[in-house]
């Protein structure tokens, strides 16, 4: 029932017997846990089946909300956490596959940077238009959809900028920067392969536990 908790309990009763003196406490062992004459079983073991009953207690609203949130959160964490752990090694491997293969020339860098600059100006105009709509109070479903689209384009633009900076390192230590970039992608590949093997081993272990 909603807002209630059931507890299965057992009603126990026994006859009164003289308690042993303090010097006899050492006589209680796993073979004789009770006072004689019940040398092997206590009241919990000898109780009849009809002694078992159910107590129903009403939980308070905060307790019920916390319990419900815990159950839902555990299920969601199991699903999304498992998917995230499985996708992380694959993401590292795909990042190595899509890595920049070589340093681009200065002319290519200028061309790509110009294209990204045009996209940035277009996104700036779109963001300003959305800001004007927000001031006018026109914040409907279409406005929220456009905001999400602009945020997505900004994220893609940032990723393109980072990729361009990797393909054309600048400064006095450009060669060292490119070397560290190559080593970073190799490290991603190694960690990705190790992660896939670990997930495979965990999957086999859980399978044997469930089957066994």
* Per-residue pLDDT, 18: 59
Q: Is the pLDDT of residue 186 over 90?
A: yes
Domain chopping of the chain, boundaries: 4-58, 60-103+173-212, 107-168
Mean pLDDT, rounded, for 49-65: 80
Is a pLDDT exceeding 70 seen at residue 31? no
Question: Is the dihedral angle over the CA atoms 172, 186, 156, 119 positive or is it negative?
Answer: positive
Mean pLDDT score, 84-88: 83
**Mean pLDDT across the chain:** 80
- Would you state the pLDDT for residue 61? 81
CA distance 45 to 12: 10
Q: CA 126, CA 120: separation in Å to the nearest integer? A: 10
So what's the pLDDT on residue 189? 92
Q: What is the pTM of this model?
A: 0.55
Tens digits of residue pLDDT in 87-113: 888 888 998 898 888 888 889 989 999
Using omega within 30 degrees of 0 as the cis cutoff, is the peptide bond preceding 186 cis? Answer: no
Q: Could you tell me what percent of the chain has a pLDDT over 90?
A: 17
Residue among 30, 31, 32, 11 nearest 20 (CA): 32
Average pLDDT estimate for 30-36: 60
Read off the pLDDT band of 178 (50, 70, 90).
confident
Whole-number pLDDT of residue 59: 77
pLDDT of residue 78: 84
pLDDT band at 34 (very low <50, low <70, confident <90, very high): low
Residue 187 has pLDDT above 90, yes or no: yes
Q: What are the distances in angstroms from CA 173 to CA 50, 109, 169, 179?
A: 83, 18, 8, 10
């Amino acid at each position: 029932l909603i807002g209630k908790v059931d507890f299965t309990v057992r009603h126990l009763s026994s006859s009164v017997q003289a308690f042993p003196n303090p010097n006899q406490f050492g006589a209680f062992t796993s073979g004789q846990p009770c006072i004689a004459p019940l040398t092997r079983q206590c009241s919990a073991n000898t109780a009849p089946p009809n002694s078992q009953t159910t107590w129903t207690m009403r939980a308070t609203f905060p307790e019920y909300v916390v319990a419900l949130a815990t159950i839902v959160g555990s299920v969601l964490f199991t699903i999304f956490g498992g998917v995230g752990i499985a996708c992380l090694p694959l993401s590292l491997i795909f990042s190595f596959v899509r890595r920049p293969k070589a340093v681009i020339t200065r002319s290519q860098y200028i061309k790509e940077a110009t294209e990204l600059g045009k996209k940035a100006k277009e996104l700036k105009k779109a963001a300003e238009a959305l800001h004007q709509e927000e001031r006018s109070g026109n914040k409907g479903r279409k406005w929220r959809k456009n905001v999400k689209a602009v945020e997505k384009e900004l994220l893609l633009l940032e990723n393109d900028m980072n990729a361009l900076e990797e393909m054309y390192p600048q400064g006095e230590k450009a060669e060292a920067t490119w070397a560290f970039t190559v080593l970073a992608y190799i490290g991603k590949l190694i960690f990705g392969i190790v992660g896939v093997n670990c997930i495979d081993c965990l999957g086999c272990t859980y399978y044997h536990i469930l089957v066994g």
